[in-house]
Amino acid sequence: MSNREDMIAEATDLGLDFKGNISNINLAALIAEYKGEPPPLDETPPPGPAVKPEPEVEDAVEPDIVTQAQLTRTAAQKVYAAKRRKIGAAKDRAMKKTIVTITSKDSRENEVTTTAYLSCENEHFSIGRSVPLDIPVELEQCLIENARTCKMPMHRDEVKNGRRTGNKVTIIVPKYTISYSRQDPD
């Protein structure tokens, strides 16, 4: 089956019904399906709306020989599958739930703040929650890590040579404390 006329003749001999304007790839796939063979791979990109189709050239490649493009495609599929497995494992670790109590260390707003908004987002998944403070809640690990890394500026007295200078120094401290509750193992 090196050219269109041979494929049309073979399809006609097999008694297959097809339209006269069927593409070579679809015709080859129809013949392969009838014979119980895997369909051939289309390695050409679809033409754009203003692109004229190129005249077909006879293939001198044996049908049993695996082309470099097929090997590359298979390798790419393996890489993609491995990447999806890693993403799935990372998402499972991030979504593992634990019961914690989150307490705010910010004395300036402790009287009015009752919740903390925690979120985690990347190109593969995202999650966000308004978490009540000072109450045990079941949270995803990624949100717990987000609360652990949240920082705030605080002011403390400046001390030089063991004496206070009367000035304040800004320091960065964690905004929340996280207490894990005891859990029975499953």
Residue 1 has pLDDT above 50, yes or no: no
- Give, in degrees to the nearest 5, the angle at Cα 115 between 110 and 121: 125
pTM: 0.52
Give domain limits for the chain: 1-41, 93-159+167-180
Question: Is 40 a residue whose pLDDT tops 80?
Answer: no
Could you tell me which residue, 86 or 37, shows the higher pLDDT?
Answer: 86
Q: What is the reported pLDDT for 77?
A: 82
pLDDT digits (tens, 9 = 90+) for 64-109: 555 666 667 677 788 888 888 898 888 888 889 989 999 988 888 8
Query: SS in 3 state form for the chain?
Result: CCCHHHHHHHHHHHCCCCCCCCCHHHHHHHHHHHHCCCCCCCCCCCCCCCCCCCCCCCCCCCCCCCCHHHHHHHHHHHHHHHHHHHHHHHHHHHCCEEEEEEEECCCCCCCCCCEEEEEEECCCCEEEEEEECCCCEEEEHHHHHHHHHCEEEEEEEEEECCEEEEEEEEEEEECEEEEECCCCCC
Exposed / middle / buried, residue 142 (Cβ in 10 Å: 0-12, 13-18, 19+): buried
